[in-house]
Amino acid sequence: MIQNITCIGAGFVGGPLGAVIAYRCPNISVTVVDKNASRIDSWNSDALPMYEPGLSDIIAEIRQRKNMCNLVFSCEIEKAIHEADIIMLCIDTPTKKFGIGSGMALDLGHIQAAVRTIADVATTDKIVVEKSTVPCGTASRIQDLLVSGSKGNCKFEVLSNPEFLSEGTTVTDLLHPSRVLIGCQRTETGRQAAEKLAEIYKRWTSPELIITMDQWSAELSKLASNALLAQRISSINSLSAICEAVDANIDSVVEGCGSDPRIGNKMLHSGIGWGGSCFPKDVAALVYLARSLGLNTVANYWNAVLEMNEDQQTRFVKRILGCMQRCINGKNIAVLGFSFKKDTSDTKHSPSIKLVRGLLVEGATICVYDPMVSESQIRTDVSPSKDDSTRLRVFSTADEACANADAVVVATEWDEFKTPEALLASHQVNLINGVNGSETNDVGMNGAHEISARKKVDWHSIVDNMKQPAFIFDGRNMLSSQYFENLSCRYVGIGYSSRW
């Protein structure tokens, strides 16, 4: 009987995962540990260290439980390992920055350190679960480290149980997973461990969504899922370049292709390229895996997905320049949105970084506004040269960022940036898809309320305060071109030719 679960790593995966297990399994004690004391302090305060719609609500609900709060955030890593029946490794695996595989392979340093601590501290049998994205074959390496490092007689079973949550919809994804993959050793004890983990998920997930397989397949499925999704977006972005060159419309092409149910229209939204903590590093890791297996054609195939993404970002900056008479030196350009997508404060590999750098280098003054990203984060990410630094300005409202601008670039699809028609259309889609319906109401959507409570951008007044001719560059194809043409603006989106 599983009584104690420890999540090592209180980041984007460990924090929400621990909270959802505690929320759904009141009789299991969940401890989320991290060596970063200030991060743990934030989890223990009302200001959580990350923004995720619905998360603060479920944590508040767990804390208000009359009998006992079963969710603890702590720095006492060894104690939590000692007490745990199941240990979830929710540790970051950044791209390696040195040595062999630099820039491509995943760095397992943090995971290895945690596994050594487990081997050192454990005095009872443990099930160790890989939640982090890891290179294929890591489960058996972890098993080896645990067995060779263990001082006692305890037995370890390592499971691969990759996480498929997306930032911004983490809580909903955890509560309503599309599938749960559990990779185990092909042994009786391996299968028993997988069954114990499956029992936890079955408290809120239908059994047919739980798929058991070998560890290698589970690890590869995680890399492959992200690579396939990134490949779809790169594919549609490659077609957007053709559309711009020939006067076709990418949204029509998406409709034309996506109406085939074998293709579908999800993850086919063309934009300024994909970012985030996962796609860039997982596609790179797949390229590295293929190269290290001597499969060069396979590696080149996936590398093209990365190259296409770089090209999409560069092409957008060139397009802005091209539309503005090839010179933005001395001009004011507002950039609305800095996170890599809406509803998250995460800026990892955000296309906005390359965008802002590209515009600064051309001599423009860049005025950034993002509802969730701090000025210090933006400055750290852009890391402008001394010369460029004074021309990078960060504002706390869209109105201020856009005042006196020659151009406004929408770089993240935050709802508050939508034009009234686009907002209405997305509400209708949400109603059809049941978003904010009964499925998500069970967690409360505090974050969603925060967003809707924020002031919607008043495009009329923004355009009134811009210099003429006023350019709107829509890097997310989320605004209505007609709306801006009615305001006498020069509207430029992605994936269709522009008159300017």
- Binding status of residue 71 toward ligand UGA by CB under 6 A: no
The verdict on whether 278 is a catalytic residue reads yes
- Distance from CA of residue 196 to its chain's centroid? 29
Provide the minimum distance between the beta carbon of 59 and ligand UGA in the complex, in angstroms, as a whole number: 20
Per-residue mark of binding to ligand UGA, 377-396 (x: CB under 6 A): --------------------
Provide the minimum distance between the beta carbon of 352 and ligand UGA in the complex, in angstroms, as a whole number: 10
Provide the minimum distance between the beta carbon of 452 and ligand UGA in the complex, in angstroms, as a whole number: 20
Provide the minimum distance between the beta carbon of 124 and ligand UGA in the complex, in angstroms, as a whole number: 31
Give the annotated binding-site residues for NAD(+): 34, 39, 93, 133, 167, 281
Contacts of ligand UGA in 17-36 (CB under 6 A): none
Tell me the C-alpha to C-alpha distance, in Å, between residue 174 and each of 19, 34, 39, 166, 189.
Answer: 10, 21, 21, 9, 27
Q: Which stretch binds ligand UGA (CB under 6 A): 165-173, 283-291, 374-382, 402-410?
A: 165-173
Contacts of ligand UGA in 338-367 (CB under 6 A): 340-341
Residues that contact ligand UGA, how many (by CB under 6 A) = 20
- Binding status of residue 165 toward ligand UGA by CB under 6 A: yes
Q: Which stretch binds ligand UGA (CB under 6 A): 71-79, 268-276, 358-366, 481-489?
A: 268-276
Catalytic residue (choose from 278, 367, 402, 489): 278
| One of 43, 279, 302, 471 touching ligand UGA (CB under 6 A) | 279
- Binding status of residue 276 toward ligand UGA by CB under 6 A: yes
Non-local (6+) Cβ contacts of 183 within 8 A are 139, 159, 160, 161, 194, 212, 213, 214, 215, 216, 217, 218, 219
| One of 200, 278, 336, 463 touching ligand UGA (CB under 6 A) | 278
Provide the minimum distance between the beta carbon of 269 and ligand UGA in the complex, in angstroms, as a whole number: 3
Of the pair 269, 490, the CB lying nearest ligand UGA is at 269
Of the pair 268, 286, the CB lying nearest ligand UGA is at 268
Residue 63: half-sphere exposure toward Cβ, Cα within 13 Å: 12
| One of 24, 26, 74, 164 touching ligand UGA (CB under 6 A) | 164
Q: Is the dihedral of CA 402, 407, 410, 415 positive or negative?
A: positive
Q: What are phi and psi of 5, to 5 degrees?
A: -120, 135
Q: Which stretch binds ligand UGA (CB under 6 A): 46-54, 157-165, 213-221, 366-374?
A: 157-165
How many angstroms separate the CA atoms of 404 and 21, rounded?
49
Give the annotated binding-site residues for substrate: 164-167, 222, 275, 341
Give the annotated binding-site residues: 34, 39, 93, 133, 164-167, 222, 275, 281, 341
Provide the minimum distance between the beta carbon of 33 and ligand UGA in the complex, in angstroms, as a whole number: 20
How many angstroms separate the CA atoms of 342 and 155, rounded?
44
Of the pair 166, 446, the CB lying nearest ligand UGA is at 166
- Binding status of residue 447 toward ligand UGA by CB under 6 A: no
- Binding status of residue 459 toward ligand UGA by CB under 6 A: no
Q: Are 87 and 127 in contact (CB under 8 A)?
A: yes
Burial of 487 (0-12, 13-18, 19+ CB in 10 A): middle
Contacts of ligand UGA in 223-242 (CB under 6 A): 226, 229, 233
- Binding status of residue 275 toward ligand UGA by CB under 6 A: yes
Token readout for 446 is 């505090």
Of the pair 74, 166, the CB lying nearest ligand UGA is at 166
Give contact residues for ligand UGA (rule: CB under 6 A).
133, 163-167, 226, 229, 233, 267-269, 271, 274-276, 278-279, 340-341
Which residues carry out catalysis?
A: 278
